[in-house]
Amino acid sequence: MPAYLENTTYETLLDALFDSYTVDILRPLAKLVCHNIPSRKIDMVNAICNTMLSAKLKSHFDRLDAIEKAAVQEAAFSPEGELNITQFKAKYHHMPQIGKSLNWPPKGHLVDLFIVKGHVPDDLSNLLIEFLNKPQKDQIKYSKKLPKSISLDIHEKTVERELRVRNTATAALNNLETVLRLVEGGKIKVGAKTGRPTLAAQKKLAGLLQGGDWYEEDEIHEGIGHIQAFAWPVLLQGTGLAKADGSTLKLTNKGKKALKGNLPQIIKDAWGRWQSNKFLDEFSRVDKIKGQKSSRGRTLFAAHTRRPVLYDGLSLCAPGRWLAVKELIRAMNSAGLDFEVVRYAWKLYVGDSQYGHLDEYGDQTMVKTRYVLAFLFEYAAALGIIDVAYIHPDGALSDYPKWGWGMDHTTFLSRYDGLMYIRLNSLGAFAMEMTDGYETAPTETREVLTVLTNHDVVVTDAQALSPADKLFLEKTAQKKSSALWTLTPRTLLEAAQNGTTIGEIKTFLESRSAQNIPKTVTTLLNDAKKRSTGLEYAGRTHLIACKDAMLQKLVTSDAKLSKVCRPAGKKHIVIMPGKEKQFMTALVQLGYIVPQLREQI
The span from the CA of 593 to the CA of 55, in Å, is 103
Q: At what angle do helices 467-476 and 169-184 cross, to 10 degrees?
A: 20
The span from the CA of 306 to the CA of 588, in Å, is 64
pLDDT tens profile 12-43: 999 999 999 999 999 999 999 998 899 999 99
The span from the CA of 223 to the CA of 408, in Å, is 8
Helix (H) or strand (E) holding 264: helix 263-274
Within 8 A by CB and 6+ apart from 299, the residues are 291, 292, 293, 342, 343, 344, 347, 348
The span from the CA of 238 to the CA of 52, in Å, is 58
pLDDT tens profile 310-330: 999 999 999 999 999 999 999
CB–CB of 95/4 below 8 Å?
Answer: no
The span from the CA of 194 to the CA of 569, in Å, is 50
Which pLDDT score, from 0 to 100, does residue 1 have? 43
Which pLDDT score, from 0 to 100, does residue 7 have? 56
CB–CB of 416/373 below 8 Å?
Answer: yes
CB–CB of 90/331 below 8 Å?
Answer: yes
CB–CB of 498/471 below 8 Å?
Answer: no
The span from the CA of 422 to the CA of 323, in Å, is 6
pLDDT tens profile 50-81: 999 999 999 999 999 999 999 999 999 998 89
Quote the distance between the C-alpha of residue 232 and its chain's center.
11
pLDDT tens profile 236-284: 999 999 999 999 999 999 999 998 888 999 999 999 999 999 999 999 9
Task: Determine the 3-state secondary structure of 578 from DSSP.
Answer: coil
Residue ranges of domains in the chain: 3-128, 162-431, 449-533, 542-600
The span from the CA of 271 to the CA of 262, in Å, is 14
The pTM is what? 0.79
Burial of 505: CB neighbours in 10 Å, binned 0-12, 13-18, 19+: buried
pLDDT bin (cut points 50, 70, 90) of residue 361 is low
Give the CA distances from residue 213 to residues 218, 317, 324, in Å, rounded to whole numbers and listed in that order.
12, 25, 21
Closest CA to 214 of 203, 222, 205, 206: 206
Which pLDDT score, from 0 to 100, does residue 441 have? 46
Q: Strand pairing of 484-486 and 542-545? A: unpaired
The stretches of 450-576 forming alpha helices (DSSP H) are 467-476, 489-497, 502-512, 519-533, 549-556
pLDDT tens profile 428-481: 999 999 999 887 644 456 788 999 999 999 988 888 788 888 888 988 999 998
The span from the CA of 366 to the CA of 412, in Å, is 12
The stretches of 384-501 forming alpha helices (DSSP H) are 426-431, 467-476, 489-497
* CA end-to-end span of the chain: 69
Half-sphere exposure of 85 (CA within 13 A, CB side): 15
Q: Poorest-confidence range of 1-10, 273-282, 486-495?
A: 1-10
The span from the CA of 521 to the CA of 524, in Å, is 5
Cis peptide bond prior to 105, omega within 30° of 0: yes
pLDDT tens profile 163-202: 999 999 999 999 999 999 999 889 999 999 999 999 999 9
User: Cα angle vertex 307, ends 304, 310, to 5°?
Assistant: 165
The stretches of 119-168 forming alpha helices (DSSP H) are 122-128
The span from the CA of 387 to the CA of 381, in Å, is 6
Comparing 214 with 1, the larger pLDDT belongs to 214
CB–CB of 358/367 below 8 Å?
Answer: yes
In percent, the amount of the chain with pLDDT more than 70 equals: 94
Q: DSSP code of 518?
A: P
Which pLDDT score, from 0 to 100, does residue 470 have? 87
Task: Determine the 3-state secondary structure of 388 from DSSP.
Answer: strand
Closest CA to 418 of 479, 376, 469: 376
Closest CA to 190 of 216, 229, 239: 229
Give the CA distances from residue 594 to residues 427, 509, 572, in Å, rounded to whole numbers and listed in that order.
62, 54, 13
The span from the CA of 302 to the CA of 281, in Å, is 8
CB–CB of 53/124 below 8 Å?
Answer: yes
The span from the CA of 170 to the CA of 177, in Å, is 11
Helix (H) or strand (E) holding 52: helix 41-52
Average pLDDT over the chain, rounded to whole?
Answer: 90
Closest CA to 402 of 292, 288, 325: 288
